Chains A and B, each alone.
Chain A
Amino acid sequence: MASMLSVQDLHVSYGAIKAVLGISFDIDEGEIVTLIGANGAGKSTTLNTIAGLIKPDSGSIDFRGEALVGTKPHKIVSKGLALCPEGRRVFTEMTVEENLEMGGYTRTDAENAESLKIVFERFPRLKERIDQVAGTLSGGEQQMLAMGRALMSKPDLLMLDEPSMGLAPILVQEIFDIIKELNEQGTTILLVEQNASMALSIANRGYVLETGKIVKTGTGRELLDDDDVRKAYLGG
């Protein structure tokens, strides 16, 4: 079976600095795949490149057999691929409702009304704060808003960049539970995390990135049990 997303020999640089040096990986429909690695390993760069925000130097990205490289970000969203960016990046001066509306920008009002219902069911706290300006939400609420916003485009593949960053442990657990639930309901997930143990524990498969290269791959379980991975990313 052809994979849903296929990245082949991807090279990305920022000016003279090479951030991603020829990585290849696949995601199958229905999977949770995680990219783990230290700061600067190239994880976020990879996601931003798939989303179309950065142009790669070379390599290919195919989503459902369609080449994505060179496609504008707003076109990529309408193909069913959404990125919930690092640092949440909610529109702080807009209300919760307006933020969610922006998430469904490529869709019709009727479709958005339906998605809004689903998002509010999943994140009841957002419904309570519907008219509140996003900048006044707590960090956890902002993360939920960022995820809800990404879900508004009804993505088939949801990319999450550091969703647990800066959150209290109890909220981290909640966010990971939600990711699992989303996946069980049919959304394929590509997850980038520094919290490697949490990410690997919910992932079907993982890839370990080191300075722009994939150095290891395996199922979530295998990587959790791997000695090198444990030493480098799981604190022994």
Chain B
Amino acid sequence: MTFLTQVLNGLQLGSIYALVALGYTMVYGIILLLNFAHGDIIMVGAYISWIVMSKLGMSPVLAVILSVLGCTALGVLIDKVAYAPLREAPRLSILITAIGVSYFLENGSQLVFGADAKVVPDYTSLSTFQVGGMTFSFTAILTIAVTAISTIVLNLLVQKTKLGKAMRAVSEDMGAARLMGINVNTTISFTFAVGSALAGIGAVLYSMAYHQATPTMGIMLGTKAFVAAVLGGIGSIPGAVIGGLVVGFAEVAVSAIGLSVWQDAVVFLLLIIVLIVKPTGILGRPMTEKV
């Protein structure tokens, strides 16, 4: 494989991690919760695609739309049912709840779909295309492009729209945001919706690349995206993208030099190094105590 192909592979994998890491970082930014169920939302998204295409025999376009909408709805539902009642509770309670939700989703889908892997069919017949004598993977290019567009749209949303500004206000000072007339609960729901929609997009892109849905697929994917979010500086949107790309490139680089058994270990080694050298992550701000 050429060097360029490896770079594309790194970008593709990194893009998926980035999309998932964005969901972690946004939820953390607004309610200081590490949403451990976030990776499992992707798993549900992959199963939705499988149901729509394999079980119902419907179009891939519908699979994409329903996966993204399904993940969005699931994210908002999880917040309403599991996290919202604990808004005033100690942070540990809600963290443990998130772990519980994660187990619930994993075991629930094992109960419903069984433990064996389901094959998610191709969304498109396009697999490769040629430019100037070189072969490119369609999925890789699509993944990178979709992630780039999603990141730009997300950034515009957060920086320029009224709801985006409300998200930033809530994340900085929830009490002051309430005094402005901002409905904090709506704003938090919206954050979950956006983060989970990105997870839905991630689920589709992941299924395009790996064609598999298993009840536990969200664990490693979620954990690595979480590493990416911490690496980039949790709470920071550009940080999540950078972190995702770093993790993706690191994995691809390790397997490119023939050490693919080490690729998971390297990701966590990276995390350990960052936590020692710069605990707030690449773009993280120094910790300030919230009043």
**Interfacial residues, chain A to chain B (CB-CB below 8 A):** 51-53, 72-74, 77-78, 82-83, 85, 87, 89-94, 98, 101-103, 105-106, 149-150, 153
Q: How far is the CA of A72 from the CA of B177 in the complex (A)?
A: 12
Task: Provide a sorted-by-A list of 17 A–B residue pairs whose CB atoms are within 8 angstroms.
Answer: A73-B179, A74-B183, A74-B184, A83-B179, A89-B179, A89-B291, A91-B169, A91-B173, A91-B176, A92-B172, A98-B168, A102-B165, A102-B177, A105-B166, A105-B181, A106-B181, A153-B180
Among B162, B166, B181, B291, max chain A CB count under 10 A is at: B181
* Cα separation A72 to B187 with both chains bound (whole Å): 14
CB distance from B26 to the nearest CB of A (A): 15
A94–B173 contact, CB under 8 A? no
**Which residues on the A side are within 8 Å of B78 (C-beta)?**
none
Within 8 A of A (CB), among B42-78: none
CB-contacts of B147-185 with A (<8 A): 162, 165-166, 168-169, 172-173, 175-184
Query: Which residue of B168, B178, B182 has the most chain A CB atoms within 10 A of its CB atom?
Result: B178
Q: How far is the CB of A154 from chain B (nearest CB, A)?
A: 11
| CB-based contact A94/B169 at 8 Å | yes
Task: Give Cα distance in the complex from A105 to B291, angstroms.
Answer: 22
Please pick, from B172, B175, B180, the residue contacting A77 in the complex, using a CB distance under 8 A.
B180
Return the CB mask of B187-207 against A: 1 if under 8 Å, else 0: 000000000000000000000
Give the CA-CA distance A149 to B173 in the complex, in Å. 14
Q: How far is the CA of A82 from the CA of B176 in the complex (A)?
A: 11
Q: Please provide the 4 A-B residue pairs with the shortest distance between their CB atoms, ordered closest to farther.
A: A77-B181, A106-B181, A73-B178, A89-B176
Q: B291 to chain A: which residues have CB within 8 Å?
A: 87, 89
Q: How far is the CB of A69 from chain B (nearest CB, A)?
A: 16
With A72-B183, A74-B183, A87-B291 known to touch, is A94 a contact of B165 (CB < 8 Å)?
yes
Q: Is the CB of B180 within 8 A of A149?
A: yes
In the complex, A87 Cα to B173 Cα: how many Å? 12
**A-contacting residues, B181-240, CB 8 Å:** 181-184
A93 lies within 8 A of B172 (CB)? yes
Tell me, in angstroms, the Cα distance from A92 to B177 when the chains sit together: 12
CB-based contact A85/B180 at 8 Å: no
Give chain B residues whose Cβ lies under 8 Å from the Cβ of A93.
Answer: 168, 172
Chain B residue numbers with a CB within 8 Å of A150 are: 179
Q: Do residues B178 and A74 form an inter-chain contact, with CB atoms below 8 A?
A: yes
What does DSSP make chain B's interface, helix, strand, loop or mixed? Answer: helix
Chain B interface size range = 10 to 19
Contact at B179–A77, with CB atoms within 8 Å? yes
Complex CA gap A55/B34 in Å reads 29
Give the chain A neighbours of B179 by CB distance below 8 A. Answer: 51, 53, 73, 77, 82-83, 85, 89, 150
| In the complex, chain A residues whose CB is within 8 Å of the CB of B168 | 91, 93-94, 98
Task: Tell me, in angstroms, the Cα distance from A56 to B132 when the chains sit together.
Answer: 73
Point out the residues of chain A lying under 8 angstroms from B172, CB to CB.
Answer: 91-94
Contact of A74 among B165, B173, B176, B181 (CB under 8 A): B181
> What distance in Å separates the Cβ of A110 from its nearest Cβ neighbour in chain B?
14
B59 to nearest A CB, angstroms? 40
Contact (Cβ within 8 A) A153 B181: yes
Q: Which residues of B contact A153 (CB under 8 A)?
A: 180-181
> Chain A residues with Cβ under 8 A from B177's Cβ?
102
Interface centre among B165, B169, B177, B179 (most CB of A within 10 A): B179
Residues from chain B with a CB closer than 8 A to the CB of A92 are 172
Among B173, B175, B176, the one with the most A-chain Cβ atoms within 10 Å of its Cβ is B176
Q: How many angstroms from the CA of A165 to the CA of B181 in the assembled complex?
A: 24
Pairwise interchain contact B165-A85, C-beta atoms closer than 8 A: no
| A residues in contact with B165, CB < 8 Å | 94, 98, 101-102
Chain B nearest CB from A129 CB (Å) reads 18
CB distance from B166 to the nearest CB of A (A): 7
Contact A102 to B182, CB < 8 A, known contacts A89-B173, A91-B168, A93-B172: yes
Alpha-carbon distance A153/B162, docked complex (angstroms): 15
A150 to B180: give the CA distance in the assembly, Å.
7
Q: Max chain B CB contacts within 10 Å: which of A51, A53, A90, A91?
A: A91
Q: Which residues of A contact B181 (CB under 8 A)?
A: 73-74, 77-78, 105-106, 153
